[in-house]
Amino acid sequence: MNLIDHFLFFVIGIDHFRFIDWAGIFIFGHTPTNLPEAVFAQVGQLFFSGLVGIFFVYLLPQVTSRYYLVKGVIYAQFVWFGSYALSILFQVPGLRTISLESAVSDLIGSLVYGLVLAWVLRLIDKRVGV
């Protein structure tokens, strides 16, 4: 998710607002302006992604693990849309308006996150047999 986000930002140049910028606004009230802030925001974003993944782990057995990749994608879309909706609903400064490029880039990153999350959980389930 972060690799794709950074690739779209630095290499392709279509992303104007990275996941690390979201985390920086929630943590500092502004986008990261130096390396220590960027590192701290990245750790915060990874922590949030971990919490989202843990919630998916608990949710998946409640709805069966059939079509797990589809459920991972739907879950990722829900988190993506919910994040956007809550930031607009609560008028978070810096997140009130997002460009189409950034929204699409964030959606792509979220979908990849959902696919990888569901795939890894399926691998763990097959190996451990939980």
Mean pLDDT of 36-57: 95
Does the pLDDT of residue 38 top 90, yes or no? yes
Closest by CA position to 56, among listed 25, 29, 77: 77
Does the pLDDT of residue 65 top 80, yes or no? no
Q: pLDDT band at 94, cuts 50/70/90?
A: confident
What six digits make up the tokens of 24? 């920086």
* Predicted pLDDT of residue 4: 82
Q: How far apart are CA 46 and CA 51, in angstroms?
A: 9
* Predicted pLDDT of residue 96: 81
Domain of residue 50 covers 2-128
List all residues 6 or more positions away from 63 whose beta carbon is below 8 Å from its beta carbon.
71
* Predicted pLDDT of residue 13: 80
Does the pLDDT of residue 110 top 90, yes or no? yes
Q: pLDDT band at 83, cuts 50/70/90?
A: very high
Query: Tens digits of per-residue pLDDT, 7-24?
Result: 887 788 887 788 899 999
Tell me how many domains the chain contains. 1
